[in-house]
Amino acid sequence: MLKNIERTLEKVIFNSRWILAPFYLGLVLGVFLLFIKFAQELWHLATHVVTASEADVIVGILALVDMSLVGSLLLMIIFSGYEIFISKIDTGDHKDRPSYGQIWCMGIRRFSCLIAPLLVRRLGI
């Protein structure tokens, strides 16, 4: 009786990981929204570069850099979080697979292997 309850509880807990999937889909949408703001800022910067002051151009470029770093961080969170908590990402031998996906951790090839060192480097900037 207790063994059946334990198995059922473990199955429910294990399957609850899929509750996180909508969060990662929301983050993917966030990357697209960030891209829209990036394109908007780039267009604004490009059309006003002649009349803008040097400080305004530098601040605009820094805003673009900031958005690109946030986008990269979002992608790292999406890939590693999905792989750690939900399911391994199976891209097969797709030719566009990023090289960080070829990192081996403890004998297993995973996207999530670099999340900690990359986050430390990104947050240190």
Structure-token match 């391994």, residue found: 88
pLDDT tens, 49-93?
Answer: 999 999 999 999 999 999 999 999 999 888 888 888 787 777 667
Count of structural domains, the chain: 1
Tokens representing 11 are: 């199955």
What is the extent of the structural domain holding 92? 20-124
Structural domain contains residue 12: no
DSSP state of 50: T
* Per-residue pLDDT at 17 exceeds 60: yes
Q: Is residue 45 part of a domain?
A: yes
Is 2 a domain residue?
no
Answer yes or no: is 7 within a domain. no
Positive or negative CA dihedral for 105, 123, 60, 77?
Answer: positive
Cβ atoms of 66 and 44 within 8 Å: the answer is no
pTM over 0.95: no
Q: What's the one-letter identity of residue 69?
A: L
What are the C-alpha distances in Å from 37 to residues 40, 53, 106?
5, 22, 39
